[in-house]
Amino acid sequence: MSPAVYVQTNNATENEVIVFSRAQDGALAPAGRYSTQGRGTGVPHLASAGSVVLSDDGRWLLVVNAGSDEVSLFAVEPDGLRLADRVPSGGSKPTSVAVSGALVYALNNGTPNVSGFNLTDGKLTGLAGSTRPLSGANADPAQISFTP
């Protein structure tokens, strides 16, 4: 797939990824819509800076479904996106996801906690013992990331 920009709708009935192709001068053109097969919260914006994340190698796109408590995994292919997997986020209301190599973590705002996964062969598999609560029940997390 050529350079692209990915956003999600956060629609409460059918969350979608909207893809825009990106020209060298930065101009954007619509390039497709893809269902996550999950649900967003339906609010005008999801309070997150990492709800849609591309893997370092550009092969995988991860998207949180805050309304259905899931993470969707898309394969980035020459002709667009292909939904490869969808798994429970390990908590409720995921707002952010981070990926580094084969390691993925989801940040859940409703629970609030973090939960880890392995990304192998186009599947997300939960990491045993990786779900950890945050500082307290009133925590309001918005983003998770890896350090370089």
Per the domain annotation, does 31 fall within a domain?
Answer: yes
Residue whose pair of structure tokens reads 């995921």 in the numeric block: 94
Task: Assign residue 65 the CATH number of its domain.
Answer: 2.130.10.10
Residue 121 CB coordination number (10 Å): 9
What are 106's two structure tokens?
């989801």
Q: What is the pLDDT along the chain (148 residues), one digit of tens a residue?
A: 679 999 999 999 999 999 999 999 999 999 999 999 999 999 887 888 899 999 999 999 999 999 999 999 999 999 999 999 999 999 999 999 999 999 999 999 999 999 999 999 999 999 999 999 999 888 999 899 999 8
Q: Please state the pTM of the whole predicted model.
A: 0.95
The per-residue pLDDT for 49 is 83
How many domains are contained in the chain?
Answer: 1
| Distance (Å, whole) CA 119 – CA 102 | 5
State the residue range of the domain holding 57.
4-133
